[in-house]
Structures are given as C-alpha cells and as structure tokens.
Chain A
Amino acid sequence: DVVMTQTPLSLSVTPGQPASISCRSSQSLLSSDGKTYLYWYLQKPGQSPQLLIYEVSRRFSGVPDRFSGSGSGTDFTLKISPVEAEDVGLYYCMQGTHLPLTFGGGTKVDIK
C-alpha cells in the first residue's frame, strides 16, 4: 500500500496569516494517464470530510481561492492564505493513483 505521511501533525495559526501542510507519498502518484491523483480534504468538527483540492492543484466547486495545492511525484503541499477562523479542523491528503486508496494521518489546524 502507498503510505501517505502528513506534516505537521498539528498547526496553530493566527487569522490572516498563511499556513502550509505537507504530504509525502511512499511511491510516485503520477499515473500512466499522465495525471496525478492527489486530493486534499477538510473535516470540520462533527462533519463529513469535504473535498478542497483534486489532482494536486484543482480547486473543487465552491472552494475559496485562499486554498491552493502544489507538488508532483511524491511531495505535495496545501497552502491556506490567509487562514480564516472557519478553516479549523482536520486536513487529510489522499492518493487515488494506486489501489487501495490511502489517506494521510491528518493535520489538525486550530486558531490562535
């Protein structure tokens, strides 16, 4: 299985400041079709995860442009700039290139 490693485990951010989360995969996520199936999710307290970013850098419908994704191969980053109070929760990366689909362990973001 592809292991997804997220850092840091937790992050405390001042509203208005940027935040960055890293996700590293144990294998390249570049698919034979030329696409890289790396996703980012936010799970707010008591809610289902919601898709933020798909295929490394594409924002899902309705996601604010303060969320951006980047990376390639095995190293990926989610940036939030600027962070707002409503962005608190658990952030997960997920790879969809290899079966089984696997998730990172999560990064907890809270507000200072």
Chain B
Amino acid sequence: QVQLQESGPGLVEPSETLSLTCDVSGYSISSGYFWGWIRQPPGRGLEWIARIYHSGITNYNPSLKGRVSISVDTSKNQFSLRLTSVTAADTAIYYCVRLPPDYWGQGILVTVSS
C-alpha cells in the first residue's frame, strides 16, 4: 500500500523559508506518477501548490509567485518543498500526495509566526 509521510518544522518565522519533506513507502517514485503538495489553511479549502515527476519535470501554482520549488530524491524515495518569504497567509496544513491525488499523507500543520 502506498504511504506518504510529511516531516519538517511546525513553526516558521515570517520572511523565512518553509522546508518540508515527504517520505514515500510502498511505491517507487521512479516507477511513475507525479508527486506533489497541497495545502489547506485552517478551516478553509484546498490549494494545489506544486508537482514533480521523477525525471524532474515540475509545475507550480502561479499564485505562489515564484516563491516555491519542489525537488525529488529518487535514491531516498522522497520529495521536498521549499517556500520562501513566508507570511501568516502561508499558515496551513501541508499534504504531500501522489497525483492525481489518490494517496495523501496525514498532513503537517505549519504555522508562520514570530
């Protein structure tokens, strides 16, 4: 069974960089599918952030205006998210997913605050 697990700091200071990693088990990233991130501000809806293919092909949501990057490490079967210059508006539960979103991680709450 495909399982995804997010990890990273739960608290990030304003203007700093948010970094998260997703460990995948039960499926090799190199076997296919896009892998990506979706976030959900507390009490609000879902927003797709970015996706990556094992070959390195990437797509980003333009709403994040170039602040976001996604990378993959096939040797560790994991992928990562970086979001720079964070503000309180970036406070959310961040989910890593296999795309199209069929398998989801449990989510990690990241709070942007000093």
Using a CB–CB cutoff of 8 Å, the interface residues on chain A facing chain B are 1, 37, 39, 41, 48-51, 54, 60, 92, 94, 96, 99-106
Contact = CB atoms under 8 A, between A and B. Distances in A.
B45 A60 contact: no
B101 A41 contact: yes
B46 interface: yes
24 contacts: A39-B100, A39-B101, A41-B101, A49-B46, A49-B95, A50-B104, A51-B102, A54-B100, A92-B45, A94-B46, A96-B99, A99-B59, A100-B48, A100-B61, A100-B62, A100-B63, A101-B48, A101-B99, A103-B45, A103-B46, A103-B47, A103-B48, A104-B45, A105-B45
A92 B46 contact: yes
Interface in B1-48: 45-48
Nearest to A90: B45
B106 interface: yes
Interface in B65-113: 95, 99-102, 104-107
Interface of A, helix, strand, loop or mixed by DSSP: loop
Nearest to B36: A101
A48 B106 contact: yes
9 closest Cβ pairs, A-B complex:
A101-B48, A48-B104, A100-B61, A103-B46, A96-B100, A51-B102, A105-B45, A48-B107, A99-B59
A50 B103 CA distance: 8
A96 B105 CA distance: 19
B19 to A, nearest CB: 21
A73 B46 CA distance: 22
Contacts of B106: 48
